[in-house]
Structure 1
Amino acid sequence: MNDHRRVYGTDRGEDPRPQPGRTYTELCGGPLDGQLLDTTGWTDDALAEGAALLTEAGAYGPGGRALYGPAPGDPGCWDWTGDIP
């Protein structure tokens, strides 16, 4: 796979690039813009709901979460909708 974007949540020492055989959703806007979220195995309900993702780069600093959900008309992208503590 020739993709240089970083996968959200990869730890130091792990390969941060997308891996073959996995399903990814791009995070669009906000503090995690451009990163990929591994959604392999997620149910349709979970994909429709979106996620609150931990980030140190959001409005609430360490421990805060960035909210992302499906972008209308673009199933491969989740839009940022704000930050929560």
Structure 2
Amino acid sequence: MTREEIEEKVKGFMIEELELEEDDLVAEALLKDDLGIDSLDYVDIVVIVDKIFGFKIKPEEMTDVKTLGQFCDYIESKVG
């Protein structure tokens, strides 16, 4: 899966499932502060990522993931 495909899928589920605006989904966007993703959203994200990308997110691996770009990096490291 290419980086573009990963970003496309991530943006797709964030728009559809979390009802975020496409214009807000830039690599530098902070997940919590800019996008407003809270702990309940993270639960949804874990389920969605498992369904789309086929792996379970480990909370301890997400401690340094602050931006949308870093989140895509994380997914790329798992599926690449």
Shared fold (TM-score greater than 0.5)? Answer: no
Please identify which structure carries the higher helix content.
Answer: 2
Instruction: Choose between structure 1 and 2 for higher RCO, CA contacts under 8 A separated by at least 6 residues.
Output: 2
TM-score by length of 1: 0.29
Higher strand share: 1
Larger Rg: 1
